[in-house]
Amino acid sequence: MAYHSKDSKIWHKFEKCVDGNNIERDNKVSGPAKKLCEHCKDIEKGKAKR
Ligand SMILES: [Zn+2]
């Protein structure tokens, strides 16, 4: 599920993304923004740990 922070152009794909987890619940908006987060790209490629 895509989500991003109100004040950011970077969006996230995975709930477990560390950057995504830093977004305060109040600032969290669902849907993609301009740019996919680098961590999420790594997770997608299966490069991220765990
Ligand atoms: Zn992310």
- Ligand 1 centre and the CA of 40: distance in Å? 4
Digit-coded pLDDT (tens) for 8-24: 999 999 999 999 999 99
34 in Cβ contact with 8 (< 8 Å): no
**Distance (Å, whole) CA 14 – CA 18:** 9
> In residues, how long is the chain?
50
Residue-range domain boundaries for the chain = 3-45
- Ligand 1 centre and the CA of 43: distance in Å? 8
Is 70 exceeded by the pLDDT of residue 47?
Answer: yes
- Ligand 1 centre and the CA of 33: distance in Å? 12
Q: Please state the pTM of the whole predicted model.
A: 0.87
Is 90 exceeded by the pLDDT of residue 48?
Answer: no
- Ligand 1 centre and the CA of 18: distance in Å? 7
